[in-house]
Structure 1
């Protein structure tokens, strides 16, 4: 499925403009008004401001509805230029996720895990710029992330050979980095630029930082599920390059940081990446 604005969400939830009874579609542009409130099919509402002002960030303008899922409603915003002589907004955009009440803790966890991964210099992931209470309901949360990937798809089979190769290498590099950092997630969602193959893993609401020491049976199962999901995205024609990329990155990390993959995790990944 192609998403022109670059965001993919599972379990889509429709939204209705309270004032206009209009069904929102992915990439819907929000009119330039001070505040617009949307009622979603799960009984939650989201108040979208244009511009949106968050301390520490430039004004965010031109919101577009990207989708909604179990974690919340997601919009893209464009950063307003801070240069007085520039009349047009900057081209770089951010993703703003408004959590539901029941998903607030998982969305807070998403930002926490993304920050931990940023500190570990893990590539191929979103960056959580800030987290704040939702003024509409302080029990809910809002997180702001980047990047927004344009012309995005989620299937490597739809890419050109060159773009698929780029995406494969990025995905396997990210997998190695996350496993060494003892971070896994469920419901892996890659977002891939169809034109360049640039890949970003999104929606880390179910991500977990595994404790140090011996892994529990539950954690081993989480690792196996995570690795299986990631590898399932790799086309058979790229299986060998995927394996080579993973181990090259693993050896680089071990040589530079002296951090090593857990023995249980190594056994799991070796069983999944056996190449005939």
Structure 2
């Protein structure tokens, strides 16, 4: 069940103190930024970097496959006073407490929280949706968490909403439809002119592949006589009255379809898979 509106508002409110603490970090200090090596983690890091640039802050970035004790020991030997973990850190909270005492730590993550960690640590500012009954695996990505934190730092950071969506898609959070929180991010991205939301077919590679190849390689739904067969996909389009070829002789892409052709294609697929 999705987190309630109050839970989300409490989640956003929890960012106020950490944002104020980050603003207090001296401008001459280099901030250590650590993020996760996947599309969500890279998106989260990109948002945080832009936010830090807007604050005229220096940073040193590392992208890690995992944050284990060896990595934490290595970080403990560095001289950085302030560290930010994005899309990583919640599951390693007790290790961070053990290996990085006396540092100012910001953890912006959506993964499950390490329950072995101490609840009392005033030097760690831990932002995580699970603390507010919001399911991090489906309702908000790591990049989404960082996006809302960046917005708390400066409302101008709303312009990065589309990057948060990349993180959500990378974590497969759109598979069964976006959550209410992710839809809020879509609305912001639309308002900022970064994305345009339209109803259409969910086909991987829709912006780059010819239509018949999309149909042939469809993995989200099986189309009898079409999926797995290039000739079957071409014949299917022709039977619907849709030419697989564009006006210039090349293969037609989804973006080239008229509204009427798109309706024909959707209806044809529905009839086939029923």
Length-normalised TM-score, structure 1: 0.26
From the two aligned structures, give the one with the greater strand fraction.
Answer: 1
Length-normalised TM-score, structure 2: 0.26
From the two aligned structures, give the one with the greater helix fraction.
Answer: 2
Q: Which has the larger radius of gyration?
A: 2
